A and B are shown apart, each in its own frame.
Chain A
Amino acid sequence: VQLVQSGAEVKKPGQSLRISCKGSAYMFTSYWITWVRQMPGSGLQWIGRIDPSDSYTKYSPSFQGDVTISADKSISTAYLQWNSLKASDTAMYYCARTARVAGETFDIWGQGTMVTVSS
C-alpha cells in the first residue's frame, strides 16, 4: 500500500499548479484522501479532504477558496490545485490515506511534494 506524489515544483507568483497523489495496492475508493501543508520549519496543517468514491470535499476554513481538491478514481489519483500561487504557498504538501477510524486517521502518507513560489 502506498501513495506516490508528483515531483517538486518551482513556480512564479500568479501561476497555476496541480500536484498529484496516486494510490496503489488498495481500494482507492474505500478511503478518503487528505492534504496536509507543512511550511518550512513549521508544523502540520490540515488543508482538506476528498472522498474519491463521489468526489465530496471538505476544506479547512483557512484554505477554502485558495485551493481545490479533486480526484480521478479511474486512475486512483487525487489532486491539489492552485489557480494563482502566492509566495506564502511555499511549503511541503503531503497527501494521506484517511481511515474512518476514530474520526479521521491518516494511516498512509505520500512522500511529499515541495512547492516553491518565487519571483
Chain B
Amino acid sequence: DIHMTQSPSSLSASVGDTVTITCRASQSISSYLNWYQQKPGKAPKLLIYATSSLQSGVPARFSGSGSGTDFTLTIFSLQPEDFATYYCQQSYSTPLFGQGTKLEIK
C-alpha cells in the first residue's frame, strides 16, 4: 500500500505570508497528486489536480509542484479566506488522503 505523509499537521501564518505544505508518498505516484481545501462545516473543495493544474475558479495564488514522491502546495500572499485545512490525495492507486494541515491565523 502507498502511504501519504503530509506536513506540517498545523501551521500559523499571517495575512500576506507565503506558506508551503508538503506531501510525501511512500513510493512513486508519478504526478497523481491532488490538493483540497476544507473549511469548518463545509465539504472539501478541489484546488489543484495532477500535481500542478489549477482547478477552474481557484485563485492563482495557489500553486502545486513536485513529482514522484515529493509534492508541495504553496499559497502566496495569504488571504483571510485561505485559513482552512488542506489535504493531499494520491490517485495513483486506491485513493488515499494525507492527514491534513490546519492553517491558522497567527
Chain A residues with a Cβ under 8 A of chain B: 34, 36, 43-46, 58, 60, 94, 96, 99, 101-107, 109-112
Contacts and interface: CB of A to CB of B under 8 A. Distances in A.
B30 to A, nearest CB: 9
B55 A104 contact: no
Interface of B: 31-34, 36, 38, 43-46, 49-51, 53, 55, 87, 89-92, 94-100
Contacts, number: 62
14 contacts: A43-B98, A44-B36, A44-B89, A101-B50, A102-B51, A102-B53, A104-B91, A104-B95, A105-B50, A106-B34, A106-B89, A107-B46, A107-B55, A112-B43
Contacts of B99: 43
Contact of A106 (B33, B44, B53, B96): B44
Nearest to A97: B46
**Most central of B43, B51, B94, B97 by chain A CB within 10 Å:** B43
Contacts of B92: 103
A46 B94 contact: yes
A94 B97 contact: no
Chief secondary structure at chain A's binding surface: strand
A111 B44 CA distance: 9
Nearest to A108: B46
Contacts of B98: 43
Given A104-B91, A104-B95, 19 more contacts: A43-B97, A43-B98, A44-B36, A44-B38, A44-B87, A44-B89, A44-B97, A45-B97, A58-B94, A60-B94, A102-B32, A102-B33, A102-B34, A102-B51, A102-B53, A103-B91, A103-B95, A105-B46, A105-B50
